[in-house]
Amino acid sequence: MSSNPDKVVFQGVSKSFNTKGEDLLVLEDVNLKIAEGEFVCLLGPSGCGKSTLLNIAGGFEAPTTGTVSVDGEPVVDPDPRRVFVFQEYGIFPWASVWDNIVLGIRHLSRERQHEIAQGVIDLVGLSGFERAYPMELSGGMKQRVEVARALAVSPDVIYMDEPFGALDSLTRLTMRSELIRIWEDRHPTILFVTHDVDEAIQLAERVVVFSARPGRIEEIIDVDLPHPRDLGAPEYGQVKNRLYERLGVSHRI
Amino acid sequence: MTAAWIALALAVIAAPLSWLRLSSRAQEWVLPIALAVALVAQWDLACRFTGSVIFPTPHQTWLASLELIESQRLWGDVVASLFRVTGGFFLAAGVGIPLGLVIGWSTRTFRAMNPIIQGLRPISPIAWIPISILWFGIGDGAGIFLIFLSSFFPITVGTTAAVRNISLVYQRSARNFGVRGLALFRCVVLPAALPQIITSLRIALGVAWLVIVAAEMVGMDSGLGYLINDARNAGSRYDLVVATMILIGLIGIVLDFLIRRLERFDEVRWGYVQR
Ligand SMILES: Nc1ncnc2c1ncn2[C@@H]1O[C@H](COP(=O)(O)OP(=O)(O)OP(=O)(O)O)[C@@H](O)[C@H]1O
Ligand SMILES: [Mg+2]
């Protein structure tokens, strides 16, 4: 738990979708406070409403009841201070890596754009690919562009919706440690959605476990392990067992 | 009988080809050329067998082509057809693309205009010939108007669909990074729709080339369509008719080749790579 002031606050958030005349309750009474600079993972089974919750926080969808506020102000619209890294690739395939990254800083002077873009490109390790187009990049590199584009606007909050879900397991490990490096460097508040228990424990300071649909907060588990985290450490195994238990599955197969 | 000859011709070509291990690039040239040669041979045989005196043999058609190339009027007709097609096509693109972008983006405009467009679209451009002659007289004006009509609908409808299909993730990315107004059109809507717009341009140009020949046959006094009609009326010169038809086909290939070059740009290549 961080002692910083609250950054993102969910109060009584519920969401139902009306499809074919039927109401489908997806999220039920979600209450959650996330402190400034905190790294929180939202963990839950597929279809429990994790993406929906993140979309509501990002201002892309309105909750059916309840509110989300950032810095005490209710979220009504997307805002460049809080950026989204999408579950499916959100970078523009028609623009070069460079043009994708300067998307959010178009209004700055050329020199500032250059400085910032070069900075984030180096940070995510894409130097030399500035002029490449997304289709010429591997999946992991596309995801780095996506992260770089988000970092370029120096957001206070980053919402990440299973950003590494489509990557192979080795690339995923690398991306995780780089994300931690970036987070330790700049300390944005990060809400990271995943359904991968290992990923949640490797990254988060707190893991919020959701029930199956309708998604409710089942439990919030602190992960008090310093980075870099040793996957083999016994504490790690304990947290892991607890999470699996909470998710209602046995991982001893 | 004919089927037997085709089969024979194909077998004769296919046999050596299956022995030769050609690179796929060579195949792209060798296979169609071999097939074309077989078809011409087949055509020649058919003429001999039936003993037709009106339908030209490949050789007569070749001579007719040379005659056309030597005569001064061919280029005038080619230029007339191409002028009408390009004029009408560019006008249609100039109006249809912006209109399609607006209709695709604004639901209100879509609701207002889509029924009318869908109602006008099925009317064959050929049906407009009398009206176009009434309005523009016999000449380039009527031709350009007809080509405008025949290109306008595929371009507008294609552009509208392209915009309506823009992935939600791109729209959300744009909103998230505060892209709105004109910048939204320039940086997101237009580029996201561009591959499909280019496809609709390609379809429209193909239709335009079909329509111009028909229009010139019915209501104009120059152009390749008129040339065909004229060759038949002036002494049943079917050799000229067929030679002109082949020329029309060849120009069609060139037009399609030219417009397909648009698909190669880095900004749109992404739209065609999946497949
Ligand atoms: N726009 C929508 N209209 C109707 N139903 C929706 C809509 N968006 C999501 N849903 C439904 O809400 C539920 C939760 O969806 P959501 O995408 O939030 O799940 P998720 O937890 O992110 O799952 P995953 O881990 O598979 O990505 C699903 O059952 C889905 O069918
Ligand atoms: Mg999801």
Three-state SS letters, A94-163 = CCCHHHHHHHHHCCCCHHHHHHHHHHHHHHHCCCCCCCCCHHHCCHHHHHHHHHHHHHHCCCCEEEEECC
* Res. B10: pLDDT tops 70: no
ipTM reported for the complex, 2 dp: 0.83
B38 lies in the same domain as B112: no
Average model confidence (pLDDT) across chain B? 89
Query: Are the CB atoms for A75 and A7 separated by under 8 Å?
Result: no
B29 lies in the same domain as B119: no
Q: Which residues of B touch A92 (CB under 8 A)?
A: 170, 173, 187-188, 191-192
C-alpha B233/C-alpha B265 separation (Å) is: 46
Q: Is A85 in the pocket of ligand 1 (CB under 6 A)?
A: no
Cβ partners under 8 Å of residue A129, min gap 6: A97, A121, A137, A141
Residue B266 has its nearest CB partner, among A77, A103, A133, at A133
B232 lies in the same domain as B132: yes
Amino acid letter for position B180: R
Helix count and strand count (H, E) for chain A: 7, 10
B158-171: average pLDDT: 93
Task: Please tell me the predicted confidence (pLDDT) of residue A250.
Answer: 63
What tens digit of pLDDT does each residue of B186-238 get?
Answer: 889 999 999 999 999 999 999 999 999 999 998 888 999 999 999 888 878 89
Task: Please tell me the predicted confidence (pLDDT) of residue B221.
Answer: 87
Atom of ligand 1 nearest to the CA of A49: 18
Task: Please tell me the predicted confidence (pLDDT) of residue A10.
Answer: 94
Residue B44 within any structural domain of the chain: yes
What tens digit of pLDDT does each residue of B50-88 get?
Answer: 888 889 999 999 999 999 999 888 899 999 999 999 999
Q: How confident is the model at residue B259 (pLDDT cuts 50, 70, 90)?
A: very high
> Could you give the number of structural domains in chain B?
2
Q: Which residue has the higher pLDDT, A252 or B270?
A: B270
Nearest CA, atom 29, ligand 1: A47
Query: Are the CB atoms for A148 and A155 separated by under 8 Å?
Result: no
Which residue ranges of chain A lie beneath pLDDT 70?
Answer: 1-2, 250-253
Task: Please tell me the predicted confidence (pLDDT) of residue A64.
Answer: 93
Query: Are the CB atoms for A70 and A8 separated by under 8 Å?
Result: yes
Task: Please tell me the predicted confidence (pLDDT) of residue B236.
Answer: 82
Q: What is the pTM of this model?
A: 0.82
Residue B177 has its nearest CB partner, among A80, A88, A133, at A80
B212 lies in the same domain as B108: yes
B142-161: average pLDDT: 95
B36 lies in the same domain as B135: no
Domains by residue range for chain A, with CATH = 1-81+155-253 (3.40.50.300), 89-154 (no CATH)
Q: Is A26 in the pocket of ligand 1 (CB under 6 A)?
A: yes
Range of the domain at B18: 2-52
Other Cβ atoms closer than 10 A to B115: 10
Q: How confident is the model at residue B275 (pLDDT cuts 50, 70, 90)?
A: very low
- To the nearest 10°, the Cα dihedral for B217, B220, B224, B228? 40
